[in-house]
Amino acid sequence: MAGYKEPGFQERVANATQARQNALAKLKSKPQLDEAEVARLKAEHEAREAAKLAKRAEIKAAREAEREAEREAKRLREEEAALAAAPKPKAPEMSAEEKKAIRDAKYAARKARKGR
């Protein structure tokens, strides 16, 4: 039984040359595209690219709008938290005369209810 024989340098060069010639013959045998077909294919390609760019721009605008909404919501939450954490303004202290006038008014109302 014969074993595998390693191809020599000359055989490899010949095989490579033959492969190149076969590829060139295959390329030459292809029919050439006419100008109208080339223009149509180019227009289709440009239309697809324009559609892709428009879709990317739409997605980018949507993402930016979402980010802006998130920023606004975060700002509002921080504002609400700051208002909740801020100390409540106290009512101004009343003077002694004002306190006495309120007490007297309550006393007079009680006496009036009791019928005196």
Does residue 77 fall inside a structural domain? Answer: yes
pLDDT per residue as tens digits for the range 7-24: 899 999 999 999 999 999
Instruction: Output the pTM of the full model.
Output: 0.44
Q: Is the pLDDT of residue 58 over 80?
A: yes
Does residue 56 fall inside a structural domain? Answer: yes
Quick one: how far is CA 58 from the chain centroid? 10
Does residue 16 fall inside a structural domain? Answer: no
Does residue 102 fall inside a structural domain? Answer: no
pLDDT of residue 3: 79
The structural domain count of the chain equals 1
Q: Supply 90's token pair.
A: 């106290």
Does residue 7 fall inside a structural domain? Answer: no
Looking at per-residue confidence, does 3 or 77 come out higher? 77
Q: Is the pLDDT of residue 60 over 70?
A: yes
Does residue 28 fall inside a structural domain? Answer: no
Is the separation of the CB atoms in 7 and 15 below 8 Å? yes
Q: Supply 112's token pair.
A: 């009036």
Residues 6 or more apart in contact with residue 7 via CB below 8 angstroms: 15
Mean pLDDT for the chain? 91
Confidence of residue 36 (pLDDT cuts 50, 70, 90): very high
Q: By residue range, what is the domain housing residue 81?
A: 33-86
Q: Give dist(CA 9, CA 56) in Å, integer.
A: 54
Mean pLDDT, range 90-98, rounded to an integer? 85
Does residue 111 fall inside a structural domain? Answer: no
